[in-house]
Each structure stands twice: as structure tokens, then as C-alpha cells.
Chain A
């Protein structure tokens, strides 16, 4: 291991390797090209080895095999990462801006007295300087920063890198935990899966997603009519679910569902990175928003700068008219 290496925290999610792991590896490969170092993936958990094949973009894959790491709890994860990063001494550590990453990366940085940057979307090395572009304020502002010190702990936004076909030496090392682990004050008890019965928005060809721009619960019905006219279903951003206007099963994004419908119509959704994470791969995205600077227009193929309630009815009518003709 050298001070030019790039370390990646690979995550799993309910037994499967999380997409973010492959994205981070792609980012790490690019970076290692600049530093001349190796890419080292770290997988925590007793079943880690079964995912090692999928991490072939790495040069080394460290699987830390310990029962205390079977499910996420902050203290054992932190203790292992602190030890691994200290002994490996990489130039940068890439951690996904996920429910796990948000818990561990800032504390890891503090424990190692290393800089932490959040919202990272682009990372390059120029000479000795690590340059990062971070998205803040829900993606409305970008900051170009030079990171001081090493290792830089980088919280990377999902969707920032496309998984790569490139492969590394992919040498798997299964190791016991470098530190004795015992349960911390926060322990994992159980996973609670969403209640079955609602429509599965990941299986829909057409989704009409409503955001806070819908403004009133009373407006949901018109949006739903439009969704049904299109042969689709309603989905939503987080504030709509927080208001209980739709169940959590309809939430698109980081903590909701990842959807890839043929058509995604975003009504009054600003397009925060956490929302984009769940929908940016849709085949066709049309966004309606009163704010021409809304980040949703960066991922949308077509945009409409308009009050959504002015468009919903004429659009429903136009679709029904078309269906009548067909």
C-alpha cells in the first residue's frame, strides 16, 4: 500500500452489492490513474467474499470477516475502518453518501484528523493537489475545492461515476477484523421491509412524480388522474411522503426506490441529488417547474417552466383525446 492508493468502502444492501460500490470503484480507477497508485476495495462482513468477483475493478479487495459486521452498526464499522485506513495510508478514501456513509465518514475523518468533503461529484488529482467539485444546497450550487491533507475522506454522491469495465489485479484478501469488535451502544435489531400490497413503482413504465410544488393534498387527485390517463402511477419526492400524502413505497430517491421507467414526469420536484439518485436513468424525463434554475432540468430531456397545476388538466385532456383517436 502506498500514499498514492485510493481506498473504496464497498457496501452491500440486503445481501446484494450496492450500485454505489461499483460507481466508487470507477471513480477510484480514474483517480488512481492520476496518482499512480492502486485501488483497494474494503468490504465489511462475514459474507463479503461472495461479492469479491463483482469488485474486479479493484487491485486489492480486503474482506474483513467478522460476525459483528454482519449488519451495519456504527461503532464496529468505524473501528475497523479507522484501523484499515490507518494501516493502508491511502491518498483518498471514497465512501458513498449513503445511509451508512453519512454515519461513518465524518467520524472517520475526525478520528484520523483527516479532511472530509461531502457532496463530491468530481474528483481529480493534479500534481499533489486533490481537487473536488461538491454539490451543496440540494444541487443548486457547486463548489470547486482543493482539499488539504491526506487521506482525504470523500463522501461521494451516488450517480457521480458510471461503473467501469476496466479491471484491476483483483487480488482478494480475507482477513479477520484488525481490532477486537464488540457491540457498541447502538446495535442493529432487525430490518423492516415495506408493507406489500401497494403498487411496485419500480415495475411501472410510466411514473408521474409529484414534489412539494404540488402544494396541497387536494391537488394530488388531478396528478393521479394524469398518471392513470398515461397508464402509469403516482410517485413522489420525500416531502410528499413525509406529509403522508403517499406511502413510503411511492418515494423515489436515496432512501426510496430506484426507478427506470420509460417515462418519468416530474411535477414540482426540484431535483435534489437525493431525488435524482432514484430516477436519473429513466428513458425519458420531462420536468415541469416554475423555477428555470431547478436542478431537475439538468437530468430532464425536456423541461417546461410553468405552474404544474396549469398544465396537468390540459395534458390529461390531450392524452385522453389522443387515446380516443387511436
Chain B
């Protein structure tokens, strides 16, 4: 498990330890704002190269990504092939291959053959996530030691200037229904009757 030391990453790493991660590597990073995406990709790549992994799994698309997507950039920095939006992985025919299941619209999957080493952008697992009890996480907090991997950071320029960040106007279209549960339920039934959804 490799992570940039930013924000509340320790919580995630302790959970990973509790779930059985054998080695946890933190990349020291002291700034107040996260690095531009390209810089982050270069930093992760440096740390991951040291590990000589056959398979690198990374989330397909973080919710705060603005300047592109980290996962394919990491692969590019590692000079490894990449495929993302993966929803399941199975071993392949040969030792150095695997099958990755890539999601397409309409609950359709594409079975892709992947020669290793490679990077996969993961959307979800084919099994529900496993939770660990808090007691195990607490135990991990006492017993786990993170390894630190310094990387040389060539600062990258952001590709865009953010002018403004804001919440979208709420309820631009929705008319809010007020009242008790029964009143709201009654009002919904009236709306459905007006629209002919219920007779």
C-alpha cells in the first residue's frame, strides 16, 4: 500500500493494515494543498518503481480530480500499460497475464487480457467490501510502522487557473414538499394522480 502523506491518510492506512496489508509506504509531503495531478503521478511513480510490483491497483477516478485523472498518468510515468473502470480481476492463462473486467454501459463487461506488469484503475470489486472491526484498527494503530519513501518532487504547474469554486444552486428545479410524513405522502399521491401515474 502506497500513499502520499496528505490529509487524513493515516486512518486509511491503519485500516489497510488491519485488513492485512504487509507493507505500507508513505510518501512524505508537507504542503498545505495537494500537488497538481501530474506532480502527484510522478511522485507515486517514483515510490512505486522501488517496489517493482507486477500489478499496481489504483482507484479509477477520485471525486476531487479536476486536472484529468491520476490512474492513467501513473501508468504513463511507470511506463506500464493501463486499463481502467475495472470491476473484477481473475488470473489469466499464463503466469504473467490476468483477465480484467472493464465496465461498459448497460451492465455490460468487457473481458480484457492484461500482460503484466500493468496498472489497473479500479471502480469496484466483484465482491462487497469487507469491513474490519474498530478493535482491529486500533490494534493496527499500535503495532503498524509505516515505511517512509522520500521522492524528489519536480513541481508541476497546474494546467488551469481556478477562478471560483462554489456549490451549485440547490433546488433550481425541485419544488420542496413540506409537512408531516402523512401530509407529504398525501401530496405525492396527488401529484402522481395529476400526472396519471396512479389512477
A interface list, Cβ under 8 A from B: 13-14, 18, 71-75, 98-99, 102-107, 109-111, 115-119, 131-132, 134-149, 153, 155, 184-194, 205-206, 230-231, 238, 242-244, 248-249, 251, 254-258, 262-263, 283-284, 286-287, 292-293, 295, 297-306, 310-311, 314-315, 317-319, 322-323, 326
Contacts and interface: CB of A to CB of B under 8 A. Distances in A.
Interface string B173-199: 111110001101110110111011111
B62 to A, nearest CB: 9
A206 B169 CA distance: 28
Given A102-B85, A111-B76, A262-B197, A256 B121 contact: no
A186 B83 CA distance: 7
Interface stretch (B1-9, B11-19, B27-35, B105-113): B105-113
Contact of A192 (B101, B163, B168): B101
Nearest to B164: A144
A248 B195 CA distance: 30
**Chain A interface mostly:** mixed
Contact of A284 (B60, B68, B195): B195
B195 to A, nearest CB: 5
Contacts of B109: 191-192
**Chain B interface mostly:** mixed
A149 B110 CA distance: 35
A97 B115 CA distance: 26
A75 B75 CA distance: 12
B168 A142 contact: yes
30 contacts: A14-B108, A99-B84, A106-B72, A116-B68, A116-B159, A118-B65, A135-B168, A137-B63, A138-B63, A142-B168, A144-B165, A145-B160, A187-B112, A187-B113, A189-B112, A230-B198, A238-B124, A242-B129, A244-B127, A255-B104, A256-B106, A257-B107, A262-B195, A263-B197, A283-B195, A286-B191, A298-B174, A314-B181, A318-B188, A319-B189
B110 A110 contact: no
B76 A186 contact: no
A188 B69 contact: no
B168 A139 contact: yes
A191 B104 contact: yes
Contacts of A205: 197
A99 B104 contact: yes
Which of B101, B115, B159, B177 is the most central at the interface, judged by chain A CB atoms within 10 Å of its CB?
B159
Given A107-B72, A185-B118, A314-B181, A145 B161 contact: yes
Given A186-B114, A301-B174, A194 B108 contact: yes
B174 A117 contact: no
A241 to B, nearest CB: 9
Contacts of B182: 314, 318
A149 to B, nearest CB: 7
Which of B66, B76, B108, B176 is the most central at the interface, judged by chain A CB atoms within 10 Å of its CB?
B66
Contact of A304 (B82, B118, B124, B176): B176
Given A111-B76, A306-B184, 15 more contacts: A74-B82, A105-B69, A115-B160, A117-B67, A134-B66, A144-B162, A148-B159, A186-B113, A187-B113, A193-B108, A255-B123, A298-B174, A301-B174, A311-B185, A326-B198
Contact of B103 (A99, A105, A305): A99
A258 B107 CA distance: 10
B161 to A, nearest CB: 5
A298 B76 contact: no
Which of A102, A205, A257, A310 is the most central at the interface, judged by chain B CB atoms within 10 Å of its CB?
A102
Contact of A147 (B84, B108, B159, B189): B159
B99 interface: yes
A106 B121 CA distance: 13
A148 B123 CA distance: 30
Contact of B73 (A106, A153, A231, A255): A106
B171 interface: yes
Contact of B189 (A255, A301, A318): A318
A305 B176 contact: yes
Contacts of A300: 173-174
Given A257-B106, A317-B185, A322-B189, A106 B176 contact: no
A326 B112 contact: no
Given A132-B160, A262-B197, A263-B197, A143 B107 contact: no
B105 A13 contact: yes
